[in-house]
Structure 1
């Protein structure tokens, strides 16, 4: 994990900066690798119904939309972002311990919401520290970030194996272990001094930039966020559904890992993909695949079929994300980029929370056929993306064409 192109980072970089950031990226992914697929399984083991599961999962998403930007402002102003990482990790661990003492709806909802609030800034602030290293010392962001994805895959596979042995009882101890690792790596995180640029989530707290009022940018961000939100039912109820089909914990872990691994491959070969396909092609194709993906989930396609559908995450998330991030670079000036990222964070958080809340009712009423509703959500996002492409100006400020060559 050296600097880009094998060069040596300039003097002044903290020792083992890239390795330490890779560890900081990995720790929260250990938590996510257990919590994202298997926390609903623990809720189900408490005899929560589908409505209650949807509410418990959705409310923290709403709260973090507001707490993460405030934490970002604090991190940018205190002069050392890593200090906020420590507090985020410690408070998250405290809420994880409190969940051991909770087994009814309202205490679980309250504590898990608090956990969402204090955990929310950890990854965005880590991203901000990593990007500072990229700008100041020419480190390779991708080589630091993909260790988090590998940690997620490992945690999901181990979580699947443990769920086969212990069911939902394994969730809290596993998540608590992940939070302990977060505390440890937060203490190890590089200290790089006062930031030179605001982090995206702190930029959101002070309001979006006027350049973000461009219709094509707004429609693109809304459309991509809606397609992301169409994954809500998968995140909330896929493990519960696959268990009803008789899949083992190891098989469920494999299915979740397949999606993340496919996503990693797209990020690894992002440069080659961008050379071969236009940004709009990557975004539009990802949206179209999302619409189709959710149409197939209600069918009992077997383990192999769901494995293939999970691999489509490479397009329904990674392809869209790469396209959107690069379009932001093209359409928004550098001094406004943090605000653009903040607005994207806001849209993703709000739409995902709404979709997760609705998923609880939809799954309770229609079971796996609720995925048809997710296809409608993805189609709505697709429509916004097509509108964004239609509304784009004929040329960029630099004079370059914004046609498919972009």
Structure 2
């Protein structure tokens, strides 16, 4: 087995690294770019994020089912490669369209970002996790390189933004070109015996995927995700709030770049340690732990004042996200059919996150304008705490892997 995957770990790690470089370069300062360069208000930015979330939702449903049918073939990854390479010109067109017509620009930007990044990352993560289960490496240790890619790009994003915001979009496209070269080198030749264990005696059908909707444990997972996915809404316009804490916006932009970079470096270290922690405390407890840290971070953001304390609350993200990602994959593999790993992750986690974000993003934008950032963060944190507390009683504890497998091939 090791022979077949000797190159998989470094190549998948590098793919994650450059995917996140492209994503961070184009999107880490997106809300600041929309506010300072394009001139949008918080409520208008919320509309863009709502369209983005709806697009990501549709992409995640399709991507997940198709990837489960493809197994370890790379068709969707090639599609994502083309979008990454085009990301620089696409963002320039996005800004131009917003100045002509807000609705037209929102639809274009939401479609492109949702299909490329918010929808695409789940495909790359689930593909990596699927290979890791048949290989000799932990998913978290490969995903760590994605965090390092985000950190590396974000470190320079604030400086490049102050020089010329378009430079970040150029970096995004260049990272896409490197992604193309790396993907061309990736060969995952799975032995027939392993392919049968992974995909079962027959291919995945639409009926298999739809049967997930009849499982109470699937809806228990969805309830947990409904709460924890609020962190994405929280993060959308956080750069604007953080930059406002400084004497000038230029200083705030640069400082946010440094803060976000430092946070993601810590996140990368967390990705390295998260598999050990989740293996010790169990997948369910890992999810609950991540949810409670998330609630604490949001509530604290609404209570503290000043850039130093706000920075400390932001850094808690580096503790919660690694545990959440590792635990969600392990929980799915323990409690559901492994053939549907991509569908479960992209629909049960990523897709649910997009649904909630599409509803909450415009509401959050209105709340920021009407009540301010701090009160809005308090409400978000309380919502996360409530759903996480309820999930203590609804999520299943650790089960032997055999219990997650169907007795008959047609049963999920």
Judging changes above 3 Å, is the alpha-carbon distance between structure 1 residues 78 and 129 closer, same or farther for their aligned structure 2 residues? closer
| Aligned ranges 1:261-300 → 2 under 5 Å | 261-274=265-278, 277-299=281-303
Shift of 1:115: 1.1
Shift of 1:278: 4.8
Contact 2:61-2:351 within 8 A present in 1 as well: no
Work out whether 1:384 is the aligned partner of 2:390.
Answer: yes
Judging changes above 3 Å, is the alpha-carbon distance between structure 1 residues 359 and 332 closer, same or farther for their aligned structure 2 residues? same
Between stretches 366-375 and 132-141, larger displacement belongs to 132-141
Distance between the aligned counterparts of 1:137 and 1:290, measured in 2?
31
| Aligned ranges 1:127-276 → 2 under 5 Å | 127-166=125-164, 168-190=165-187, 192=189, 197=198, 208=209, 210=211, 213-233=214-234, 235-246=235-246, 247-274=251-278
Contact 1:54-1:357 within 8 A present in 2 as well: yes
1:402 is matched with none
Shift of 1:127: 3.3
Distance between the aligned counterparts of 1:85 and 1:220, measured in 2?
27
Distance between the aligned counterparts of 1:383 and 1:174, measured in 2?
42
Shift of 1:59: 0.9
Contact 2:29-2:239 within 8 A present in 1 as well: yes
| Aligned ranges 1:347-366 → 2 under 5 Å | 347-366=352-371
Shift of 1:54: 0.9
Distance between the aligned counterparts of 1:393 and 1:90, measured in 2?
41
| Aligned ranges 1:22-171 → 2 under 5 Å | 22-44=13-35, 45-74=37-66, 81-94=73-86, 96-101=88-93, 102=96, 103-104=98-99, 105-120=102-117, 122-166=120-164, 168-171=165-168
Shift of 1:351: 1.6
Contact 1:225-1:347 within 8 A present in 2 as well: yes
1:372 is matched with 378
Shift of 1:33: 1.8
Q: Partner of 2:372: helix, strand, or coil?
A: helix
Q: Partner of 1:355: helix, strand, or coil?
A: helix
Count the aligned residue pairs: 384
Gaps of 5+ in 2: 404-412
Contact 1:40-1:240 within 8 A present in 2 as well: yes
Gaps of 5+ in 1: 1-7, 400-406
1:334 is matched with 338
Distance between the aligned counterparts of 1:40 and 1:92, measured in 2?
20
Q: Partner of 1:190: helix, strand, or coil?
A: coil
Report the TM-score when normalising by structure 2. 0.79
Report the TM-score when normalising by structure 1. 0.80
Q: Partner of 1:297: helix, strand, or coil?
A: helix
Distance between the aligned counterparts of 1:161 and 1:303, measured in 2?
19
Contact 2:298-2:380 within 8 A present in 1 as well: yes
Judging changes above 3 Å, is the alpha-carbon distance between structure 1 residues 355 and 35 closer, same or farther for their aligned structure 2 residues? farther
CA deviation profile, 1:230-250 (whole Å, cap 9, x unmatched): 3412x2211112221115433
CA deviation profile, 1:297-318 (whole Å, cap 9, x unmatched): 2345333322321221144433
Judging changes above 3 Å, is the alpha-carbon distance between structure 1 residues 109 and 323 closer, same or farther for their aligned structure 2 residues? same
Q: Partner of 1:155: helix, strand, or coil?
A: helix
Distance between the aligned counterparts of 2:181 and 2:106, measured in 1?
27
Distance between the aligned counterparts of 1:137 and 1:263, measured in 2?
24
Contact 2:274-2:326 within 8 A present in 1 as well: yes
Between stretches 65-74 and 31-40, larger displacement belongs to 65-74
